[in-house]
Structure 1
Amino acid sequence: MRITHTHRALTSLAAAGALAAATMVVAGSAHAAPGHYGVKPIHPPAVAGQAAHHAATGADTLSLTTSDKNGAVSPTPKVYLVFWGKQWGTKDPAGVANDMQGLFKGLFGSQDTWGTILTQYCEGLKAGTTNCGSAGTHVVHPASSPLAGVWFDNAANEPANPTAAQIGSEAVKAAGHFGNKTQSPNYTAQYVVVSATGTHPDGFPNSGFCAWHDSTSSKYGRVAYTNLPYVPDMGAGACTTFTDGRLLSGIESTETHEYAETVTDFFPTDGWNNSANGEIGDECINLDAYVKLTTGTYDLQGLWSNAANNCVTHG
């Protein structure tokens, strides 16, 4: 998905303009822009606060796009958080850095029933597969935190308006920083490039999206990454169905959307998709739930489950 922000929380007039931009995109589309994936509108199209399930119909079923043995899913997910720019050293008004670390430090084990949704998906079976059964290489639910590294890249300021190419380059730079310099570790690593408050990565927020994920070729092999803007700059209520005024809910919902889509469609679009409705998170943008993990309670977006034939928030 894709998103943008301003230096301060948007006024109601500016927010209305961002919402208008969001409505120009068909909800559930698989692409945020050519080459980017995981569309999530800044405001879901449902009534504010409504956490509506999709109807349980076969038309939403995800299927495996390729028979590739690597790159369709991330069997043992590893998340690398990259806080881009010197700005993080002086400004983080919503406490995003601590919040994102807490989220991934708690996203494992028996208390994380949300992450178990992902284990039904696999790679290494024929294209068109909709039920892995016990075959293929399945996503494994983490027994410990999937957070593999945190980097505050403070060598310079993040550009005020970084392009998609610059965001991809920052992800590749992070792969080198963390020592993932061959393709093998980059079959499981996802780099979440978190932009600083007041920046506008890839047109955020006028792009109308909360974030997006993608992959890029590099000297370290193909690298999977997420463009995660500073969602709280949009104010409470953006990128979540909750209307309780909690400022961090939108970025938590956004990042769990992108995390799940990267795990199940690692190198887009080699993994699990629906030709009409997109990826595992795209189908369920109207469903959020507060889930208590060992590190706190977070807004986790609902995900499509082929097994349940519905949007769910627990496996």
Structure 2
Amino acid sequence: MRIRMPGTVARSLVAVSLAALGAAGFAGGANAAPAAPVAAHHGVKPITKGAVHVATTAGSRNTLTVRSNGTQGVVSPTPQVYLVFWGSQWSNDPAGVAPDLQNMFKGLYGSADTWGTILTQYCEGVASGTSNCGTSGTHITHPATSPLAGVWFDNAAAAPSSATTSQIAGEAANAAAHFGNTTQAPNLNAQYVVVSPTGTHPDNFPSSNFCAWHDKTSSSYGTLAYTNLPYVPDLGVDACTTLTDGRMLSGIESTETHEYAETVTDFWPSIGWNGRNGEIGDECENMDAFVPLSTGSFDLQGLWSNKANACVTKG
């Protein structure tokens, strides 16, 4: 499934990111500025470098509506995240991405997590075009325990230096088998986050000018939701976030919360929740906040709330 690039917000961000990355270069890559993003996948978060704040005007153009009356694959009612650290190269993790992502997801539940509650207003099993679920349909539930369902360091072989889309999707299917999710039923809530190691270029990262994207793939175990998450710290400090806190990990935290929320609300894209500017995270790429959870403080990207008619970082 394919989708357009995000709207004017994304185009503004891209213009700034090209200039910034052209000056900054890429650790392990060429110094030339990357090309414009390839509109190939869903929830494509374009690369930014430094504080980029673009005004988002609240109104009907931002409102998310559900694109299907289906009762499965529209949203993920009880989110389950599987982190897949792909390749033997994970013996080298200079920014500490692996422990950081695990700690972030271990904290995204319960009363300490006021960010995840934004998602509970969205549902499946209602008429296509619905913008307010009310008490109808099956709502996304706020996790009472950590949504981190499994972690796999797939280190039997090296991850490809420049993995193709089909190879990334294949690794998601390998993960489904590894975790025993071999029928469609458990994969109605499972999302596989395929994290590539430092120095690699999955789907031509960063030359295609994306921080990450999510999509779906057909497999022997049913339709799978998965994310292509490159080693964002390779871009340097303050990339893929609007914060300028000097942390190497802020960008990958912002990026993965963008993709996580979009997968939860548009599970098998694009039959879930979308607006004119894209999905729930595409709407709010100009907003980041350093949010305390029970496991530490993390850079969580803002999400569009129909209820608030605005980008928010708290439900």
Q: Is the 8 A contact 1:113 1:314 kept in 2?
A: yes
Q: Which residue of 2 aligns with 1:80?
A: 82
Q: Which residue of 1 aligns with 2:39?
A: 33
Q: 1:127 to 1:237 in 2, by over 3 A?
A: same
1:98 equivalenced with 2:99 (yes/no):
yes
How far does residue 50 in structure 1 lie from its aligned partner after superposition?
A: 4.8
Name the CA distance, whole Å, in 2 between partners of 1:300 and 1:18.
Answer: 29
Q: Secondary structure of 1:259's match?
A: helix
Q: 1:131 to 1:18 in 2, by over 3 A?
A: farther
Q: Which residue of 2 aligns with 1:140?
A: 141
Q: Which residue of 2 aligns with 1:6?
A: none
Residue 220 of structure 1 aligns to which amino acid in structure 2? Y
Name the CA distance, whole Å, in 1 between partners of 2:77 and 2:209.
Answer: 31
Name the CA distance, whole Å, in 1 between partners of 2:261 and 2:79.
Answer: 10
RCO higher in 1 or 2 (8 Å CA, sep ≥ 6)?
Answer: 1
Q: Which residue of 2 aligns with 1:308?
A: 308
Q: 1:69 to 1:91 in 2, by over 3 A?
A: same
Q: 1:126 to 1:253 in 2, by over 3 A?
A: same
Q: Secondary structure of 2:104's match?
A: helix
1:208 equivalenced with 2:209 (yes/no):
yes
Residue 302 of structure 2 aligns to which amino acid in structure 1? G
Q: Is the 8 A contact 2:118 2:314 kept in 1?
A: yes
Q: Secondary structure of 1:292's match?
A: strand
How far does residue 12 in structure 1 lie from its aligned partner after superposition?
A: 3.6
Q: Which residue of 2 aligns with 1:163?
A: 164
Q: Which residue of 1 aligns with 2:25?
A: 14
How far does residue 18 in structure 1 lie from its aligned partner after superposition?
A: 7.9
Q: Secondary structure of 1:38's match?
A: strand
- Alpha-carbon deviations, 1:162-218, whole Å to 9, x = none? 001000000000000000000000000000000000000000000100000000000
Name the CA distance, whole Å, in 1 between partners of 2:31 and 2:55.
Answer: 25
Name the CA distance, whole Å, in 1 between partners of 2:214 and 2:145.
Answer: 24
Q: Is the 8 A contact 2:22 2:34 kept in 1?
A: no
Q: Which residue of 1 aligns with 2:119?
A: 118
How far does residue 41 in structure 1 lie from its aligned partner after superposition?
A: 1.1
Residue 303 of structure 1 aligns to which amino acid in structure 2? L
Residue 238 of structure 1 aligns to which amino acid in structure 2? A
Name the CA distance, whole Å, in 1 between partners of 2:280 and 2:165.
Answer: 23
Aligned to 1:63, which of 48, 62, 65?
Answer: 65
Q: Which residue of 2 aligns with 1:235?
A: 236
Q: Secondary structure of 1:94's match?
A: coil
Name the CA distance, whole Å, in 1 between partners of 2:142 and 2:209.
Answer: 32
How far does residue 280 in structure 1 lie from its aligned partner after superposition?
A: 0.2
In the alignment, structure 1 segments of 5+ residues that lack a partner are 2-9, 26-31
Name the CA distance, whole Å, in 1 between partners of 2:52 and 2:204.
Answer: 28
Name the CA distance, whole Å, in 2 between partners of 1:182 and 1:286.
Answer: 38
How far does residue 58 in structure 1 lie from its aligned partner after superposition?
A: 1.4
Q: Which residue of 1 aligns with 2:182?
A: 181
CA RMSD of superposed structures (Å):
1.9
Q: Secondary structure of 2:25's match?
A: helix
Residue 173 of structure 1 aligns to which amino acid in structure 2? N
Residue 146 of structure 1 aligns to which amino acid in structure 2? P
Name the CA distance, whole Å, in 1 between partners of 2:24 and 2:301.
Answer: 27
- Within 5 A, what are the aligned runs for 1:255-274? 255-274=256-275
How far does residue 134 in structure 1 lie from its aligned partner after superposition?
A: 0.5
Aligned length: 294
- Within 5 A, what are the aligned runs for 1:269-308? 269-274=270-275, 276-308=276-308
Name the CA distance, whole Å, in 2 between partners of 1:18 and 1:136.
Answer: 50
Residue 67 of structure 1 aligns to which amino acid in structure 2? N
Name the CA distance, whole Å, in 2 between partners of 1:217 and 1:19.
Answer: 36
Residue 47 of structure 2 aligns to which amino acid in structure 1? I
Q: Is the 8 A contact 2:22 2:31 kept in 1?
A: no
- Alpha-carbon deviations, 1:89-140, whole Å to 9, x = none? x200000000000000000001100000000000001100000001000000
Q: 1:19 to 1:252 in 2, by over 3 A?
A: farther
Name the CA distance, whole Å, in 2 between partners of 1:131 and 1:260.
Answer: 18
Residue 21 of structure 1 aligns to which amino acid in structure 2? P
Q: Which residue of 2 aligns with 1:4?
A: none
Name the CA distance, whole Å, in 2 between partners of 1:67 and 1:19.
Answer: 45
How far does residue 270 in structure 1 lie from its aligned partner after superposition?
A: 1.1
Q: Which residue of 2 aligns with 1:5?
A: none
How far does residue 237 in structure 1 lie from its aligned partner after superposition?
A: 1.1
- Alpha-carbon deviations, 1:251-275, whole Å to 9, x = none? 000000000000000000010011x
Q: Is the 8 A contact 1:19 1:42 kept in 2?
A: no
Q: Is the 8 A contact 1:261 1:280 kept in 2?
A: yes
